[in-house]
Amino acid sequence: MTLSRLIARRTIEGIATLAVIAVLLFGGVELIPGDPARTILGQSVTEEAVRNLRVALRLDQPVHERFLSWVEAAAQGDLGTSILNGRPVAPDFAWRAKNTLFLAGYAAAMSIPLSIMLGLLAALYRDRLLDRAISLGSLATISFPEFFVGYVLLTVFALNLGWFPVLSSVTPEMGLAERLSRCFLPAVTLSCLIGAYVLRITRAAVVSILSRPYIEMAELKGASRTAIVLRHALVNAVGPIANVVALALAYMVVGIVVTEVVFTYPGLGQWMVDSVAKHDMNVILVCGLAFGATYVGLNVLADIAAALASPRLRHPR
């Protein structure tokens, strides 16, 4: 299969996946117990207000009609408004998505090169002191829940040392330097979370390749350890590493609600969770589809990276 055919096929699969996600999201929100109108009104619920709100939310219409009219509007680029505060979803989404991507990118830039390097070192010095130290350290960071890491970082570096701010609430007009400083602690928290994961997969992948016969061959012909790892082992380990990096990146885009709350960061996660709690369908659909697209897109990229690194994948027997 050629590369372009691979890309085309995966893109079509991706779009189909997103369509299924949209249906599942819509159906899932419908299945949440309780009447959305009552949930939104909370303690100020009255029968008259419930009636009026149900009409405003078009809950008196059948599910499939509401879904189809959403699809129709979305196809024309209209993502609708939040049923909670009446604001158009698109600009709020764009702003929060930018924040989420910025933080994910920041954390990735910090942690992925470092953890791949440490993973390689651990593989190179397998079962020696350095390997043990790296493994122990990575196990520790992966075991602490993110809110714990976050609070410890806040207490030490923001409250006691005062090097970084407590509130990471970035604003659109904020300069890059301040933004980097405000996002530093949440980025470190996320790095702890995903770094260890990437590190361990890198180590495992390289170690398994190092036991292959062709590595033995390279050793016999007299190649140095560094050359073996970099030229022979790493290139063949790109597949699994690219996959775990893609998963880690996707995780940072969709799963950082806790980090957002601890650091008061205006990303997509908290918005999505609050919207689900209040049945804010338009927001849920847009966020959910964006999250789905992130996973699908990153997986396609990982496949392409793996194919580029290994001709065998491009030309299967």
Partner 1 sequence: MTGFEAFGRRGLFGVGAAGLLAAGLPATARAQATPKRGGKLRIGIVGQTANTLDHTSPIFASPNERVVNYTLFNTLVEIDPTGKAIPELAESWEIGPGAKRWVFNLRKGVTFHNGKEMTADDVVFSLRRHNAEGSKSGALALMRDLEAINKTDKYQIEIIHKTGSLDIHYLMSDYHFAIVPDGDNSHKGMGTGPYVLQTWEPGVRFRGTRNANYWKSGRAHVDEVEITVVNDDAARVSALRAGEVDIINRLDPRTVRLVEAAADLKANIAKGYGFYTVNMRTDIAPFNNPDLRMAFKLATNRKELLDRILRGYGSLGNDHPIAEALPFHASLPQREMDLDKARFHFQKSGFSGTIPLHTSTAVFSSAIDMAVLMQAQAQKIGMNISVERQPPDGYWGNIWLKEPFHMSYWTGRITTDIMLSTGYASNSVWNEGHWKNPRFDELLVRARTEFDEAKRAALYAECQSLLRDDGGVMIPLFNSFIDGAKKSLGGDLTAPNMEMAGGRIAERCWLG
When asked if residue 264 is in the footprint of partner 1 (CB under 8 A), the reply is yes
Closest alpha carbon to 193 in 236, 249, 117, 134: 249
**Shortest distance (Å) from residue 185 CB to partner 1:** 11
- Of residues 182 and 200, the one with the C-beta less far from partner 1: 182
For partner 1, which stretch binds (CB under 8 A), given 117-125, 184-192, 211-219, 257-265? 257-265
Q: Is 169 in the site for partner 1 (CB under 8 A)?
A: yes
Instruction: Quote the tokens at residue 98.
Output: 């930018």
156 lies in the site for partner 1, by CB under 8 A: no
Stretch of 113-121, 134-142, 152-160, 213-221 contacting partner 1, by CB under 8 A: 152-160
Task: Rank residues 62 and 86 by Cβ distance to partner 1 and give the closer one.
Answer: 86
Task: Work out whether 174 is an interface residue with partner 1 (CB under 8 A).
Answer: no
Which of 25, 26, 79, 92 is close enough to bind partner 1 by CB under 8 A? 92
Instruction: For the segment 24-43, give every residue that binds partner 1 (CB under 8 A).
Output: 32-35, 38-43
User: The tokens 């396609």 sit on which residue?
Assistant: 300
If binding means CB under 8 A, how many residues of this protein chain bind partner 1? 50
44 binds partner 1 (CB under 8 A): yes
Work out whether 56 is an interface residue with partner 1 (CB under 8 A). Answer: yes
Report the residue number, 98 or 314, with the smaller CB distance to partner 1: 98
Please identify, among the stretches 153-161, 224-232, 244-252, 290-298, the one whose residues bind partner 1 according to the rule CB under 8 A.
Answer: 153-161
Segment lying near partner 1 (by CB under 8 A), choices 5-13, 58-66, 84-92, 209-217: 84-92
Q: How many CA atoms lie within 13 A of 73 on its CB side?
A: 16
Which of residues 55 and 109 has its CB atom nearest to partner 1 in the complex?
A: 55
Name the site residues for partner 1 (rule: CB under 8 A): 32-35, 38-46, 48-49, 52-53, 55-56, 82, 84-87, 92, 95, 151, 154-155, 158-159, 162, 165-167, 169, 171, 261-264, 266, 270-271, 274-275, 277-278, 280, 283
